[in-house]
Amino acid sequence: MKDQNEFIVEGKLVPVTTLQKVAGVAKRINGPDYIGLLLAYVDGKGQAVEVIVKGPAATSTQLEQPIADMIQSITFKP
């Protein structure tokens, strides 16, 4: 049995930007029972964040906009 935390990174690297204009990149991930995104951001001061969004494949299209809104709302604070 595979570990539930294992996933495969697939597809093209896609640029993403927060509402604060912090640039990052995203790639799709596929796990044993889910699909999602792996995102990475680094702000101008060297602060970094990694985000993993995952959920059942059946709900992925229903939640596209709420997930995009959540990703854009990531905030870097001093």
Using an 8 Å Cβ cutoff, are 13 and 27 in contact? yes
- The mean per-residue pLDDT over the stretch 64-77 comes to 90
Q: Residue 12 burial by CB count (10 A; 0-12/13-18/19+): exposed, middle or buried?
A: exposed
For the full predicted model, state whether its pTM sits above 0.85: no
Asked if the model's pLDDT at residue 54 lies above 50, the reply is yes
Strands (E) across the chain are located at: 8-17, 23-30, 35-42, 48-55
Residue 4 confidence (pLDDT): 56
